[in-house]
Structure 1
Amino acid sequence: MTRSSWSDARRIAHAAGAELRSEVVDSVELATALGHVLAAPLVSPIAIPHYASSAMDGWAVAGAGPWELVRGAAADRARSVGLEVGTAVEVLTGGLIPTGAVAVLQREHGVAEETADALRLGLSPQAPHGEPAAGRHIRDAGTESPAGATLLDQGTRLGPVHLAVAAGGGFDRVPVVPRPKVRLVLTGDEVVTSGVPGAGFVRDSFGPSLPGVIASLGGVVSSSVRVSDDASATAEALGTTALTEPLTRRAGEVIVTTGGTGGSRADHVRALLRDAGAEFLVDGVEVRPGGPALLARLPDGRLVVGLPGNPLAALLSVLTLVQPLLAGMQGLGLPTLRPAVLASTVDPTRSETVLRPYRAVLDPETAVVTAEPSPWHGAAMLRGLADADGVLVCPGTGAAAGTVVPSLELPW
């Protein structure tokens, strides 16, 4: 087995995913679009805002004050046909500014007084000098963007605020890239799914976590199966017993396995893939934790990502292989590495690269943010990752405090 470097493994996975990118475009309702990737730019058919509106509760005024404050039917008419010079009408935040209005006098700066012949609006003693200036507190139409402007770029992964922007542009549906479908194959005789495990057994951590992890990467778990450490059962779950379907029908399927990637008598995934004629794109990675992780392509076009059985090793291998793979399938770039300054030393390991969860810490004296490597970094430890702000990518030779190293943001 010739292991790939961590950087090469990511690039290979991303390229393999890009080869499977679908040209199909789905149209989904805004209510179900969260987490999808836009398949085309979202161009607004309207100006935003599409009418001149008030930025304050108060009065829309025409001309210099004091003003006659119109009410009732006269106010409704003024809002529809426009204000005459010397008049004003009450307006609420977001309300339509009538034609002829030159400014909005906010409520705190105005005083309305009843006179013998009309209701008069004037400035309060607290009003600033020159209030209200021309255009004061009026949001003109198109202030945020004109009609025809691109609101959201193609390739945007839609978060809650993106959905609000789309709604503001009048969209009910948006064009998105189909979510990659992932089949989970969870292996292990020693795994129990409920209660406190006895000696020699471990509680399942993948069943509750991986669907959410896959969703955070834009994918969706289409099915999940749990198998014992049995070769025939694992082969059936992988679908390697009868590779007869045409490439065009199955090339888009991704299988993610947990466990079974080592070399013991209980580890069958790697051997079954070889027996099935799979092409190993990544046959192990020069990284700790997560060295046994693999990426293979079956003869029918399906991609298989084999994650190690230890929980931290598996979830960090998701960042190494599954995240780039699904990004490529959705037409996204390779996830970006960002610089981080080590707050303390990372010791050397027997590997080319070491991945270490970290917390961002602020030095109150210098106001500098540094990355504190987690003390919980064993392959089976999840506490450090659960508490992490990101993952450091350190050289296997170690790195001293103050060193700048690459880091990955957590996608979940």
Structure 2
Amino acid sequence: MIPVSDAIRIVAEHTSTLPTELVAITDARSRFLAQDIIADTDLPPFDRSQMDGYALRANDVANAPARLHIVGESAAGRGWHQELKSGEAVRIMTGAPVPSGADSVQQVELTRELQGRTQVEILEPVLPGRSIVKRGSEIKVGEIVLRAGEQITAATMAVLASFGYAQVSVGRRPRLAVLATGTELVTVDHKPGRDQIRDSNNFSIAAYAEIAGAIAERLPLAGDDTSLLKRQIAEAAERNDIVVTSGGVSVGVYDFTKPALKELGAELFFERVALRPGKPTVFAKLANGALVFGLPGNPVSVSVTFNLFARAAILAMQGATQTELPKETAVLEKSVKGARERESYLPAQLSTNEEGRLMALPLKWGGSSDFVAFVKATALVVVPANTKTIEHGTAVEVIRLP
């Protein structure tokens, strides 16, 4: 039995980044950059007005009120590209280029137009540089704006478009097969008989995998047949980068996954983790390089172990810089109990109290099969191994769930 940190490290060591591919910007959202994004222009590309008003020379209105002659207008996409002289002003809109010769913009609320809109009275002085964003003050041409390994978000899309990336190099999405085992399982469209339950793991695992960026394939139920399981794993590994099984990893007569993997010649890296819930978790690699995660059968154990281990592999394959779930510190609203020799990852809801402190409310749940209670969880409270109890009001480490 190995610590959780060792298991995470082993997964990282044996996961290879997949080849990159070029995609259109319209298909790039949620993918991971495989190239640095470099500015091909200054931003802003010209001195830009921050508000509606008048571009002028600050020295001309130092003793305001002062009257200036309006010589033109500068609007977004239609600038006034002449030299502004002393005693002149240019009517300007937010986002428009500031004309050469002007060194400030007075907001329209502090002005009054006169004589058929040919003159403007500036009611108050303005300091040089006021309401102007200088060219290149946000980013300069040639600078790296985004780095390889970052995920492309909605905000990132604006950056790509602004710097001319109609196509962008990204990590390939891994293909992942999901396979649930157990004779007690029936498909979702069947009513369970005596001693049976509907398969839920195939759907939660596929959903978690797709959130992480994988292309998921749900396979038919395997039952408790080692030869069938072996064949399904082998066939799935031929067309997928990762195979995730659930169930059949406990010790004894119901351990079907490890014998099947051994018969396939897989290299097993670990098969038990000091983790609650989720101790009987298997990680292996087949001869063709496909990774296999054998997860426990209980739904909560599946969620915990997938997000700790399989999710990290999916992200690493795409070249993601950050592969682990984000960790934060929160204050317990209720006491929690730990376990001997194992780290506990307990479901909780996060909230912020009136003082702005992040709070974690541990959920009442009936164990690793209580997936109904787990639905309400937004995070996992981490309880170190060999910790008997952590009292309420104590600061603890929490991991946000995707």
Normalising to structure 1: TM-score of the pair?
Answer: 0.83
Aligned length: 388
- Specify the code of the residue in structure 2 equivalent to 1:262: S
Checking the alignment, whether the CA contact within 8 Å between 1:261 and 1:292 is kept in structure 2 is yes
CA change 1:309–1:86 in 2 (3 A) is same
* Number of the residue aligned with 2:122: 123
Q: 1:407 aligns with which of 372, 394, 398?
A: 398
Name the Cα RMSD after superposition: 3.0
CA change 1:161–1:333 in 2 (3 A) is closer
Cα shift readout 1:69-118 (whole Å, capped 9, x = no counterpart): 24589xx9980223333222332211122222222222222211225xx6
CA change 1:383–1:139 in 2 (3 A) is farther
CA change 1:81–1:194 in 2 (3 A) is farther
Q: 1:394 aligns with which of 368, 383, 390?
A: 383
Aligned-pair distance for 1:13?
1.0
* Number of the residue aligned with 2:343: 353
* Number of the residue aligned with 1:49: 44
Q: 2:302 aligns with which of 314, 319, 322?
A: 314
- Specify the code of the residue in structure 1 equivalent to 2:375: A
* Number of the residue aligned with 1:141: 135
**1 CA distance for matches of 2:52 and 2:297?**
60
- Specify the code of the residue in structure 2 equivalent to 1:390: A
Aligned-pair distance for 1:137?
1.1
* Number of the residue aligned with 2:55: 60
Cα shift readout 1:270-320 (whole Å, capped 9, x = no counterpart): 221122222211112121111122111123322100122221110100122
- 2:389 is paired with a residue of what secondary structure? coil
* Number of the residue aligned with 1:297: 285
CA change 1:106–1:225 in 2 (3 A) is same
* Number of the residue aligned with 2:275: 287
% identity of equivalent residues: 27
Aligned-pair distance for 1:173?
2.2
* Number of the residue aligned with 2:87: 86
**2 CA distance for matches of 1:80 and 1:343?**
63
* Number of the residue aligned with 1:21: 17
Aligned-pair distance for 1:384?
4.7
**1 CA distance for matches of 2:374 and 2:144?**
37
Matches within 5 A, 1:137-216: 137-189=131-183, 190-194=185-189, 200-216=195-211
**2 CA distance for matches of 1:394 and 1:261?**
24
Aligned-pair distance for 1:55?
0.9
CA change 1:141–1:203 in 2 (3 A) is farther
Checking the alignment, whether the CA contact within 8 Å between 1:227 and 1:233 is kept in structure 2 is no
- Specify the code of the residue in structure 2 equivalent to 1:287: L
* Number of the residue aligned with 2:2: 4
Checking the alignment, whether the CA contact within 8 Å between 2:79 and 2:97 is kept in structure 1 is no
**2 CA distance for matches of 1:168 and 1:213?**
32
Cα shift readout 1:336-393 (whole Å, capped 9, x = no counterpart): 64444433221133551111122234443x5433322222362122345433332122
* Number of the residue aligned with 1:380: 369
CA change 1:78–1:373 in 2 (3 A) is closer
CA change 1:265–1:46 in 2 (3 A) is same
Checking the alignment, whether the CA contact within 8 Å between 1:151 and 1:166 is kept in structure 2 is no
Cα shift readout 1:162-204 (whole Å, capped 9, x = no counterpart): 2222222332222222222222223344233248766644344
- Specify the code of the residue in structure 2 equivalent to 1:122: E
Checking the alignment, whether the CA contact within 8 Å between 2:113 and 2:120 is kept in structure 1 is yes
- Specify the code of the residue in structure 1 equivalent to 2:5: S
Q: 2:332 aligns with which of 339, 342, 353?
A: 342
- 2:10 is paired with a residue of what secondary structure? helix
Structure 1 gaps, min length 5: none
Checking the alignment, whether the CA contact within 8 Å between 1:360 and 1:369 is kept in structure 2 is yes
**1 CA distance for matches of 2:179 and 2:317?**
20
Checking the alignment, whether the CA contact within 8 Å between 2:73 and 2:79 is kept in structure 1 is no
- 2:305 is paired with a residue of what secondary structure? helix
CA change 1:83–1:311 in 2 (3 A) is same
Q: 1:33 aligns with which of 18, 28, 46?
A: 28
Checking the alignment, whether the CA contact within 8 Å between 1:359 and 1:388 is kept in structure 2 is yes
CA change 1:90–1:386 in 2 (3 A) is farther
Instruction: Tell me which moved more, 274-283 or 254-263.
Output: 254-263
**1 CA distance for matches of 2:264 and 2:234?**
10
Checking the alignment, whether the CA contact within 8 Å between 2:278 and 2:296 is kept in structure 1 is yes
Cα shift readout 1:113-162 (whole Å, capped 9, x = no counterpart): 225xx6221135xxxx42x3222111111111111111112221222212
CA change 1:195–1:299 in 2 (3 A) is closer
CA change 1:135–1:210 in 2 (3 A) is same
Aligned-pair distance for 1:56?
0.9
* Number of the residue aligned with 1:233: 228
Instruction: Tell me which moved more, 141-150 or 37-46.
Output: 37-46
**1 CA distance for matches of 2:299 and 2:383?**
20
Checking the alignment, whether the CA contact within 8 Å between 2:277 and 2:368 is kept in structure 1 is yes
- Specify the code of the residue in structure 2 equivalent to 1:58: G
**2 CA distance for matches of 1:146 and 1:303?**
43
Cα shift readout 1:195-251 (whole Å, capped 9, x = no counterpart): 876664434434443333223323332x3212230334322221169x9x8xxxx8x
Checking the alignment, whether the CA contact within 8 Å between 1:227 and 1:237 is kept in structure 2 is no
Checking the alignment, whether the CA contact within 8 Å between 1:358 and 1:384 is kept in structure 2 is no
- 2:300 is paired with a residue of what secondary structure? helix
Checking the alignment, whether the CA contact within 8 Å between 1:234 and 1:269 is kept in structure 2 is yes
CA change 1:370–1:330 in 2 (3 A) is same
